């Protein structure tokens, strides 16, 4: 979903309505107010009962201000989550997708906040009837909860090629998913009459992550290795997208956790450059501990 140049919400400065909280500043203001009302008050010891009452009141005000901050964030697309985000997305006609239906023992699996937030940003693109790239991307992602990512290209005038990356497995789109998205995009109220839409699955590029971590001397290296493994899993998941190269620098950044002195990255041996209709898929993450050399 990198083709359409939507605003990067993570790069927005913090909104002015969200206040920086400072307990000591609130206590000081309350003390000053109290002294202004009772000039004869001179006890300023932390153990004084009056000071304790002011500290309790200051803490309650701090909690209230934090609640106001949370309420302000709940109406901002960049910060809202859960049902608050559902309501914001509903304003632009976008509902959270169901990834897997509920069973007798498990609740339904729904798309993440980040995915819903990204689709809500694309919603305005879908209003166009001229078949822009963003509209096709929005509808491709909305067509089926099994779609993880999509890419839109027009190799020739009048032909629109939509490439799908599936959510399950290595990302290969099954035939029934391709057919479902094809039918959804071909509806007369979504596709301009002059467009021919072709939907296809992504080409999957398999790769392995193999690394040796050399840790600093310490009581235990297992937590360090585990932290590196978790960071690697998060990075691998982020890289599993259409047209997203696998760079060694990104992997080094993920593996170099606090406590790691050196990273020997044996695989991949070089950056993996993928085409727009390709998606990298990590088949294994193998992280071992090497000898300590410091």
Rounded to an integer, the average pLDDT of 172-193 is: 90
Give the model's pLDDT for residue 231.
97
Distance CA 277, CA 243 (A): 6
Between 250 and 49, the higher pLDDT residue:
250
Distance CA 293, CA 258 (A): 16
**For 134-159, how does the pLDDT look when each residue is reduced to its tens digit (9 = 90+)?**
889 999 999 999 999 999 999 998 89
Domain positions in the chain: 10-73, 98-201, 204-289
**For 84-123, how does the pLDDT look when each residue is reduced to its tens digit (9 = 90+)?**
999 999 999 999 999 988 998 999 999 999 999 999 998 8
Rounded to an integer, the average pLDDT of 171-188 is: 94
2 pLDDT exceeds 60?
A: no
- 225: phi then psi, degrees, rounded to nearest 5: -65, -40
Rounded to an integer, the average pLDDT of 11-15 is: 89
Count of CA atoms in the C-beta half-sphere (13 A) of 72: 13
Give the model's pLDDT for residue 258.
93
**Average of per-residue pLDDT values in the chain:** 91
Rounded to an integer, the average pLDDT of 228-251 is: 96
CATH code reported for the domain at 98-201? 3.30.300
The region of weakest confidence among 1-5, 195-199, 217-221 is 1-5
**Cis-peptide, bond into residue 268, ω within 30° of zero:** yes
């Amino acid at each position: 979903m990198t083709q359409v140049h939507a605003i990067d919400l993570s790069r927005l400065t913090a909104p002015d309505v969200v206040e920086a909280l400072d307990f000591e500043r609130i206590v000081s203001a309350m003390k000053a107010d109290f002294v202004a009302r009772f000039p004869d008050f001179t006890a300023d010891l932390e153990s004084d009962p009056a000071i304790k009452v002011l500290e309790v009141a200051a803490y309650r005000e701090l909690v209230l201000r934090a609640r106001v901050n949370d309420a302000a964030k709940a109406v901002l697309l960049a910060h809202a989550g859960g049902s608050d985000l559902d309501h914001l997305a509903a304003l632009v006609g976008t509902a959270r997708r169901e990834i897997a239906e509920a069973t007798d023992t498990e609740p339904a699996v729904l798309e993440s906040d980040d995915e819903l937030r990204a689709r809500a940003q694309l919603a305005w693109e879908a209003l166009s009837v001229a078949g822009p790239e963003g509209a096709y991307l929005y509808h491709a992602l909305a067509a089926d909860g099994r779609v993880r990512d999509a890419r839109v290209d027009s190799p020739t005038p009048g032909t629109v090629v939509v490439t799908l990356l599936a959510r399950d497995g290595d990302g290969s789109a099954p035939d029934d998913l391709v057919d479902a998205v094809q039918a959804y995009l071909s509806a007369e109220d979504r596709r301009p009459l002059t467009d021919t839409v072709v939907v296809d699955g992504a080409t999957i590029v398999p790769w392995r992550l193999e690394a040796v971590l050399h840790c600093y001397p310490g009581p235990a290296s297992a937590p360090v290795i585990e932290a590196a493994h978790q960071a690697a899993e998060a990075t691998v998941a982020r890289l599993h997208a259409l047209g997203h190269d696998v760079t060694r620098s990104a992997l080094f950044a993920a593996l170099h956790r606090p406590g790691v002195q050196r990273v020997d990255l044996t695989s991949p041996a070089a950056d993996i450059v993928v085409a727009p209709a390709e998606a990298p898929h990590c088949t294994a993450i193998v992280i071992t501990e090497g000898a300590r050399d410091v």
